[in-house]
Amino acid sequence: MAYPDTYRYTKEHEWIDLSGSIGTVGITDYAQSTLGDIVFVDLPKVGDPVTANETFGSVESVKAVSDLFSPVSGTVTEVNEALTNAPDLVNEDAHTAWMIKVSLSDPAQYESLWTAAQYQAFIAEEV
């Protein structure tokens, strides 16, 4: 799977796509393939604060429950409600099945995240 060059990535396997001051957040293809079939997604509510490197929710798969970590700090502006009834959308295409949108409180945090090439080098070491 190709990792979108326009996204930034974390060591916890989340991605973020920035458009203006709004970041769209999801988990990477590597994360979803490691987890297996995702059966439940627990996400915050619109208006909830999120903090960089802190948990904002969880995903439950047939294998385990895993925390989701926010790549940036800010406020949740939108939640992907489609995942409530169809969490398997993450397995179908992890890089389009976003989870939350965040209004960034510190845009510099985005710049400190990994590029696609840096993330791919990281997961190559994990495999």
Per-residue model confidence as pLDDT tens digits over 55-114: 999 999 998 999 999 999 999 999 999 999 999 999 999 999 999 999 999 999 999 999
Closest C-alpha to 37, from 112, 109, 98, 89: 89
Q: What is the pLDDT of residue 1?
A: 65
Helices (H), 1-127: 29-35, 82-85, 89-92, 108-111, 116-126
pTM of the entire predicted model: 0.96
Query: pLDDT tens for residues 40-63?
Result: 999 999 999 999 999 999 999 998
CATH number 3.20.190.10 is the correct assignment for the domain at 8-126: no
Which amino acid, one-letter code, is at 69? F
Domain ranges of the chain: 8-126
Across the range 11-21, mean pLDDT stands at 97
> Strand pairing partners for 83?
none
